[in-house]
Amino acid sequence: MRNYGGLVHAVGGFARDRGGNFAVLFGFAASVLALAAGFSVNVTQLYNAKSSLQGVVDAAVTSTARDLTTGAIKEADANKSVQAFLDANDSAGILHPGQIVLDKLIVDRTANTVQADAHVDVSLFFPIFGMADMKRVTASTTSLYSDKNIEVAMMLDVTGSMAANWWAKTDKIGDLRAAASGAVEDLLDNNIDPNNPRVRVAIVPYAEAVNTGGLANSVFVEQPGGSDVPPAVDAPIQVGSSAPTRPDNCATERKDKDGYADYSSDGPSAPRLNKQGKTYLAKINRDDRMGSCPKPELIPLSADKQKLLSTIASFKAGGVTAGGIAVQWGYYMLSPTWRSTIVDARLGAGPANFDSRRVGKVAILMTDGQFNTAFAGGRGAPRSQNAGQMSRSNAESICDNMKRDGIEIFTIGFDLDDPSMTSTERDQAKSVLRDCSTADTSSLKHYYEAATGPELNDAFSAIVQNIERLTLTK
């Protein structure tokens, strides 16, 4: 028992002395924890400062690049623009006013980029391990800008199927008016200098034909049983009651000397040879079988917002769908070969030359159904082709030529799942829109479907955003 008693006494003694040992251990552990906590606070502080600074610099450079792109500022003002943005947002996150210093700004005119380098000096909460109480945090960002002009031709379906339907509670023509008007406003909002607009828009309303408005002198009016091409330039001028009359300002396809559809973008004054070897001018046909002429007139490229919006507001639904004719006139409105014709008609400056470095050319084709009308088919096409097949084939061939010339094409199918369409009609409508559109990329969509008015508006809005993106990437 005595031995056990000694052991118990020894253990008791150790127990009585352990408070000092533990105090030493606790003090050491507390110091380590305090250092770790201080280090963690510093890391978090620097991370937050870096994140805040990067966000402000990114936004400043992006804003300045956009202003350069739209023409709101000149290149010489870029430094002032970035600095003003930094000053206005220098208290973002954990930053304090006056902290951000712009070290360098480079505007590279060759690469079309804006680069900014900036820093802040952060006062650390817990300077440890001999660290200074200030730490410098840096950020750098680069953004593209563009000095391109933009030309957009909108080919918009105003056919009978777009009419308001009270029992189905739809108003597709009203939906189109709203969505197209919004797109025009968004596009033209990029214009800062009204005397030197960066963005211009053309409107091509279409049904069975296209109403050429002030470009009616470019149209050759066919007579029943007469020629498919205009008279030779040296032919005697007809006078009196025997002269052809123009019942309206509408046009259908341009035909070649053999009556086939002409897919070129040539202007109406381009020379052609008829079957007799005589020269005539390549005017656009008004087929003598054409029935109705849509009321809204096409508007060549313009920055006159009110004129464009007034035209869209006048849209009324009626007639059948000649999509090939619509695409043809969209092509004309973007082709420089039509510039002199448009200038002579006092309808604006006309399209710029094809030059992807200086101008972005974009076409938007919208329809709510199957292309079902044409008055001429392509050379080599089967004679068994009906009007719908000709219209779709003509549209696809012209779209191919447009894309070859560098025109970016977006297409929108509106309410293509309408139960009044057969599955074949629906598939044909979607097929031609997909074939006409420029191929999608990983970041850029070109073919859209919209079932409702809000979705149509979303499609137009997305295309406008994509047009802005294209000016930076192409």
For the cut 80, the answer to whether the pLDDT of residue 8 exceeds it is no
pTM for this model (two decimals): 0.78
Q: What is the mean pLDDT of residues 190-200?
A: 84
Name the burial class of residue 449, with classes exposed (0-12), middle (13-18) and buried (19+) by CB atoms within 10 angstroms of its CB. middle
For the chain, percent of residues with pLDDT exceeding 90: 57
What domains can be seen in the chain, in order of their start residue? Answer: 19-144 (no CATH), 149-473 (3.40.50.410)
> What pLDDT score does 421 carry?
83
For the cut 60, the answer to whether the pLDDT of residue 26 exceeds it is no
> What pLDDT score does 126 carry?
56
Is residue 36 very low, low, confident or very high in pLDDT (cuts 50, 70, 90)? very low
> What pLDDT score does 65 carry?
81
The pLDDT tens digits of the residues spanning 99-113 come to 889 999 998 877 778
Is residue 2 very low, low, confident or very high in pLDDT (cuts 50, 70, 90)? very low
For the cut 50, the answer to whether the pLDDT of residue 11 exceeds it is no
> What pLDDT score does 429 carry?
93
Return the higher-pLDDT residue of 41 and 416. 416
Cα 168 to Cα 466: distance, rounded to the nearest angstrom: 33
Which of the residue ranges 16-25, 55-64, 180-189 has the most confident prediction, judged by mean pLDDT?
180-189
> What pLDDT score does 243 carry?
57
> What pLDDT score does 18 carry?
52
Is residue 62 very low, low, confident or very high in pLDDT (cuts 50, 70, 90)? confident
For the cut 90, the answer to whether the pLDDT of residue 152 exceeds it is yes
> What pLDDT score does 52 carry?
85
Cα 261 to Cα 401: distance, rounded to the nearest angstrom: 14
> What pLDDT score does 132 carry?
60
Cα 251 to Cα 79: distance, rounded to the nearest angstrom: 52
> What pLDDT score does 1 carry?
42
Cα 456 to Cα 321: distance, rounded to the nearest angstrom: 19
The pLDDT tens digits of the residues spanning 277-305 come to 999 999 999 999 999 999 999 999 999 99
Is residue 449 very low, low, confident or very high in pLDDT (cuts 50, 70, 90)? very high
Inter-residue contact 116 to 57 (CB < 8 Å): yes
> What pLDDT score does 53 carry?
84
Phi, psi angles (nearest 5°) of residue 466: -65, -35
Any idea how long the chain is? 474
Cα 230 to Cα 218: distance, rounded to the nearest angstrom: 11
C-alpha to C-alpha distances, 423 to 32, 163, 170, 365, 392, nearest whole angstrom:
74, 21, 21, 21, 16
Return the higher-pLDDT residue of 210 and 68. 210
For the cut 80, the answer to whether the pLDDT of residue 51 exceeds it is yes
Question: In the sheet that 299-302 helps form, which strands lie side by side, from edge to edge?
Answer: 299-302, 199-206, 149-157, 359-367, 408-414, 447-450
Secondary structure E strands in 315-391: 359-367
Return the higher-pLDDT residue of 191 and 39. 191
Is residue 191 very low, low, confident or very high in pLDDT (cuts 50, 70, 90)? confident
The pLDDT tens digits of the residues spanning 395-409 come to 999 999 999 999 999
Residue 456 CA to chain centroid, in angstroms?
A: 14
Q: What is the mean pLDDT of residues 219-225?
A: 94
Cα 119 to Cα 53: distance, rounded to the nearest angstrom: 8
For the cut 60, the answer to whether the pLDDT of residue 131 exceeds it is no
Residues 6+ apart with CB under 8 A from 365: 155, 323, 326, 327, 330, 409, 410, 411, 412, 433, 436, 437
